[in-house]
Chain A
Protein backbone atom coordinates (compact mmCIF):
# COMPACT_ATOMS: atom_id res chain seq x y z
CA UNK A 1 0.00 0.00 0.00
CA UNK A 2 1.33 3.44 -0.93
CA UNK A 3 2.06 5.82 1.91
CA UNK A 4 0.15 8.57 0.09
CA UNK A 5 -3.07 7.69 -1.69
CA UNK A 6 -5.06 10.06 -3.85
CA UNK A 7 -8.57 9.69 -5.17
CA UNK A 8 -9.90 9.77 -7.72
CA UNK A 9 -7.11 8.97 -10.17
CA UNK A 10 -9.02 10.61 -13.00
CA UNK A 11 -11.89 13.06 -12.92
CA UNK A 12 -13.85 14.63 -15.75
CA UNK A 13 -16.41 17.30 -14.92
CA UNK A 14 -18.39 20.06 -16.56
CA UNK A 15 -17.39 23.68 -16.27
CA UNK A 16 -18.86 25.21 -13.13
CA UNK A 17 -18.94 22.02 -11.08
CA UNK A 18 -17.55 21.79 -7.55
CA UNK A 19 -14.50 19.53 -7.52
CA UNK A 20 -13.06 17.55 -4.61
CA UNK A 21 -9.77 15.66 -4.68
CA UNK A 22 -8.79 13.57 -1.69
CA UNK A 23 -5.45 12.61 -0.20
CA UNK A 24 -4.88 10.08 2.58
CA UNK A 25 -1.53 9.30 4.09
CA UNK A 26 -0.21 6.76 6.55
CA UNK A 27 2.95 8.40 7.90
CA UNK A 28 3.51 11.12 10.46
CA UNK A 29 3.98 14.43 8.70
CA UNK A 30 5.09 17.95 9.44
CA UNK A 31 3.34 19.47 6.43
CA UNK A 32 1.35 18.63 3.33
CA UNK A 33 1.60 20.27 -0.08
CA UNK A 34 -0.86 20.41 -2.93
CA UNK A 35 0.82 20.81 -6.31
CA UNK A 36 -0.59 21.48 -9.76
CA UNK A 37 1.11 20.12 -12.85
CA UNK A 38 0.01 21.53 -16.17
CA UNK A 39 -0.04 19.54 -19.43
CA UNK A 40 3.24 21.20 -20.41
CA UNK A 41 4.85 19.64 -17.35
CA UNK A 42 5.41 22.70 -15.16
CA UNK A 43 4.67 22.29 -11.44
CA UNK A 44 3.20 24.98 -9.23
CA UNK A 45 2.83 24.78 -5.47
CA UNK A 46 -0.77 25.64 -4.57
CA UNK A 47 -0.86 25.17 -0.82
CA UNK A 48 1.26 24.14 2.10
CA UNK A 49 -0.75 22.97 5.12
CA UNK A 50 0.04 21.74 8.58
CA UNK A 51 -3.43 22.24 10.06
CA UNK A 52 -6.88 23.60 9.31
CA UNK A 53 -7.87 25.18 6.06
CA UNK A 54 -6.46 27.55 3.46
CA UNK A 55 -8.18 29.40 0.63
CA UNK A 56 -6.77 31.03 -2.47
CA UNK A 57 -9.25 32.30 -5.00
CA UNK A 58 -11.46 29.39 -6.06
CA UNK A 59 -9.21 26.82 -4.41
CA UNK A 60 -9.65 25.55 -0.85
CA UNK A 61 -7.45 23.03 0.91
CA UNK A 62 -8.22 21.34 4.20
CA UNK A 63 -6.33 18.93 6.36
CA UNK A 64 -7.36 16.71 9.27
CA UNK A 65 -4.20 15.62 11.05
CA UNK A 66 -5.98 13.10 13.31
CA UNK A 67 -7.60 11.36 10.36
CA UNK A 68 -4.49 11.76 8.16
CA UNK A 69 -6.57 13.17 5.36
CA UNK A 70 -6.56 16.26 3.18
CA UNK A 71 -8.90 17.54 0.51
CA UNK A 72 -8.48 20.02 -2.30
CA UNK A 73 -11.66 21.72 -3.49
CA UNK A 74 -12.18 23.79 -6.61
CA UNK A 75 -15.30 25.93 -6.77
CA UNK A 76 -16.82 27.06 -10.08
CA UNK A 77 -14.39 24.91 -12.03
CA UNK A 78 -13.06 26.17 -15.37
CA UNK A 79 -11.34 24.43 -18.29
CA UNK A 80 -8.09 26.17 -17.31
CA UNK A 81 -8.19 24.15 -14.06
CA UNK A 82 -7.49 21.03 -16.15
CA UNK A 83 -4.22 19.65 -14.83
CA UNK A 84 -2.78 16.93 -12.63
CA UNK A 85 -3.11 17.68 -8.91
CA UNK A 86 -0.51 16.08 -6.68
CA UNK A 87 -0.53 15.67 -2.93
CA UNK A 88 2.89 15.57 -1.27
CA UNK A 89 3.60 14.95 2.40
CA UNK A 90 6.68 16.10 4.22
CA UNK A 91 7.56 13.35 6.66
CA UNK A 92 9.16 13.91 10.01
CA UNK A 93 12.33 12.30 8.61
CA UNK A 94 12.51 15.07 5.97
CA UNK A 95 11.54 12.65 3.21
CA UNK A 96 8.95 14.01 0.81
CA UNK A 97 6.46 11.44 -0.45
CA UNK A 98 4.22 12.15 -3.41
CA UNK A 99 0.84 10.77 -4.34
CA UNK A 100 0.42 9.52 -7.87
CA UNK A 101 -1.74 12.49 -8.79
CA UNK A 102 -5.32 13.13 -9.88
CA UNK A 103 -5.83 13.98 -13.53
CA UNK A 104 -8.62 16.56 -13.77
CA UNK A 105 -10.33 17.44 -17.03
CA UNK A 106 -12.92 20.21 -17.05
CA UNK A 107 -15.17 20.27 -20.10
CA UNK A 108 -16.43 23.63 -21.43
Chain B
Protein backbone atom coordinates (compact mmCIF):
# COMPACT_ATOMS: atom_id res chain seq x y z
CA UNK B 1 0.00 0.00 0.00
CA UNK B 2 1.59 3.26 -1.19
CA UNK B 3 -0.55 5.47 1.03
CA UNK B 4 -2.27 7.07 -1.98
CA UNK B 5 -5.85 5.82 -2.28
CA UNK B 6 -7.80 5.93 -5.51
CA UNK B 7 -11.43 5.01 -5.97
CA UNK B 8 -13.05 3.39 -7.78
CA UNK B 9 -10.56 0.77 -8.98
CA UNK B 10 -12.69 -0.09 -12.00
CA UNK B 11 -15.49 1.79 -13.69
CA UNK B 12 -17.53 0.90 -16.74
CA UNK B 13 -19.83 3.48 -18.25
CA UNK B 14 -21.38 4.58 -21.52
CA UNK B 15 -20.49 7.33 -23.96
CA UNK B 16 -21.91 10.71 -23.02
CA UNK B 17 -21.88 9.96 -19.31
CA UNK B 18 -20.01 11.72 -16.52
CA UNK B 19 -17.81 10.10 -13.86
CA UNK B 20 -15.83 11.26 -10.86
CA UNK B 21 -12.54 9.70 -9.81
CA UNK B 22 -11.30 10.28 -6.29
CA UNK B 23 -7.81 10.43 -4.84
CA UNK B 24 -6.65 10.69 -1.25
CA UNK B 25 -2.99 11.66 -1.03
CA UNK B 26 -0.42 10.15 1.27
CA UNK B 27 -0.61 11.59 4.76
CA UNK B 28 1.31 14.86 4.90
CA UNK B 29 1.53 15.32 1.12
CA UNK B 30 0.16 18.63 -0.16
CA UNK B 31 0.40 18.10 -3.92
CA UNK B 32 -1.80 15.87 -6.03
CA UNK B 33 -1.15 15.03 -9.67
CA UNK B 34 -3.43 13.34 -12.17
CA UNK B 35 -2.19 11.26 -15.10
CA UNK B 36 -3.89 9.39 -17.90
CA UNK B 37 -2.43 6.20 -19.34
CA UNK B 38 -3.96 4.89 -22.53
CA UNK B 39 -2.64 2.08 -24.70
CA UNK B 40 -1.71 4.28 -27.63
CA UNK B 41 -0.58 7.44 -25.82
CA UNK B 42 1.29 6.14 -22.81
CA UNK B 43 1.31 8.21 -19.64
CA UNK B 44 0.23 11.81 -19.93
CA UNK B 45 0.23 14.50 -17.27
CA UNK B 46 -3.18 16.08 -16.79
CA UNK B 47 -3.05 18.50 -13.87
CA UNK B 48 -1.42 19.27 -10.52
CA UNK B 49 -2.91 20.79 -7.39
CA UNK B 50 -0.98 22.08 -4.42
CA UNK B 51 -2.74 22.79 -1.15
CA UNK B 52 -6.04 23.40 -2.87
CA UNK B 53 -4.82 25.49 -5.78
CA UNK B 54 -4.10 24.53 -9.36
CA UNK B 55 -0.31 24.54 -9.83
CA UNK B 56 0.32 23.15 -13.32
CA UNK B 57 -1.76 22.02 -16.25
CA UNK B 58 -0.88 19.47 -18.89
CA UNK B 59 -2.90 17.88 -21.68
CA UNK B 60 -6.23 18.03 -19.90
CA UNK B 61 -9.31 18.20 -22.11
CA UNK B 62 -11.94 20.88 -21.53
CA UNK B 63 -14.42 18.08 -20.79
CA UNK B 64 -12.28 17.16 -17.79
CA UNK B 65 -11.95 19.15 -14.60
CA UNK B 66 -10.39 18.60 -11.22
CA UNK B 67 -10.24 20.15 -7.80
CA UNK B 68 -8.51 19.65 -4.50
CA UNK B 69 -10.55 20.02 -1.34
CA UNK B 70 -9.54 21.49 2.06
CA UNK B 71 -8.84 17.98 3.38
CA UNK B 72 -6.44 17.63 0.40
CA UNK B 73 -8.29 14.85 -1.36
CA UNK B 74 -8.81 15.48 -5.05
CA UNK B 75 -11.45 14.61 -7.59
CA UNK B 76 -11.13 14.32 -11.35
CA UNK B 77 -14.39 14.85 -13.19
CA UNK B 78 -14.73 13.45 -16.69
CA UNK B 79 -17.82 14.47 -18.66
CA UNK B 80 -19.36 13.79 -22.08
CA UNK B 81 -17.30 10.63 -22.14
CA UNK B 82 -16.02 9.26 -25.42
CA UNK B 83 -14.66 5.84 -26.29
CA UNK B 84 -11.17 7.31 -26.42
CA UNK B 85 -11.36 8.30 -22.76
CA UNK B 86 -11.01 4.65 -21.80
CA UNK B 87 -7.74 4.52 -19.90
CA UNK B 88 -6.04 4.06 -16.57
CA UNK B 89 -6.15 7.22 -14.52
CA UNK B 90 -3.42 7.55 -11.93
CA UNK B 91 -3.15 9.93 -9.06
CA UNK B 92 0.18 10.69 -7.39
CA UNK B 93 1.06 12.83 -4.42
CA UNK B 94 4.17 14.59 -3.20
CA UNK B 95 5.08 16.58 -0.11
CA UNK B 96 5.65 19.86 -1.90
CA UNK B 97 4.45 21.94 -4.79
CA UNK B 98 7.93 22.99 -5.82
CA UNK B 99 8.38 24.17 -9.38
CA UNK B 100 11.86 22.69 -9.37
CA UNK B 101 10.65 19.21 -10.17
CA UNK B 102 12.38 18.03 -7.05
CA UNK B 103 9.40 16.06 -5.80
CA UNK B 104 9.32 12.41 -4.89
CA UNK B 105 6.09 11.05 -6.32
CA UNK B 106 3.98 8.36 -4.68
CA UNK B 107 1.45 6.79 -7.00
CA UNK B 108 -1.95 5.34 -6.33
CA UNK B 109 -3.01 2.03 -7.85
CA UNK B 110 -5.05 3.72 -10.55
CA UNK B 111 -8.66 3.78 -11.67
CA UNK B 112 -9.43 1.83 -14.82
CA UNK B 113 -12.17 3.53 -16.83
CA UNK B 114 -13.90 1.69 -19.64
CA UNK B 115 -16.27 3.66 -21.84
CA UNK B 116 -18.62 1.52 -23.95
Q: How many residues of A contact B (CB 8 A)?
A: 25
Interface contact B43-A88, CB-CB below 8 Å: yes
Q: Are B45 and A96 in contact (CB under 8 A)?
A: yes
Q: How far is the CA of A33 from the CA of B96 in the complex (A)?
A: 16
B107–A94 touching, CB < 8 Å: no
Provide the main secondary structure of the chain A interface: strand
Asked whether any CB of chain B lies closer than 8 Å to the CB of A30, the reply is yes
- Contact bitstring B40-77, A, C-beta under 8 A = 1, else 0: 00111100100000011010000000000000000000
Does A42 count as interface, using CB distance less than 8 angstroms? Answer: yes
Instruction: Select B102's contact among A43, A44, A48, A88, beta carbons within 8 Å.
Output: A48
B110 within 8 A of A: yes
Set A35, A48, A95, A101: member contacting B103, Cβ < 8 A: A48
Q: Mark A13-36, 1 if CB is under 8 A from B, else 0.
A: 000000000000000011101010
Secondary structure type dominating chain B contacts: strand
Contacting residues, chain B, for A100 (C-beta < 8 A): 42
Bound-complex Cα distance A48 to B92 (A): 14
> Is B114 in contact with chain A by the CB < 8 A criterion?
no
Cα-based distance from A99 to B43 in the complex (angstroms): 8
Binding site for A on B (CB under 8 A): 2, 33, 35, 42-45, 48, 55-56, 58, 88, 90, 92, 99-107, 109-110, 112
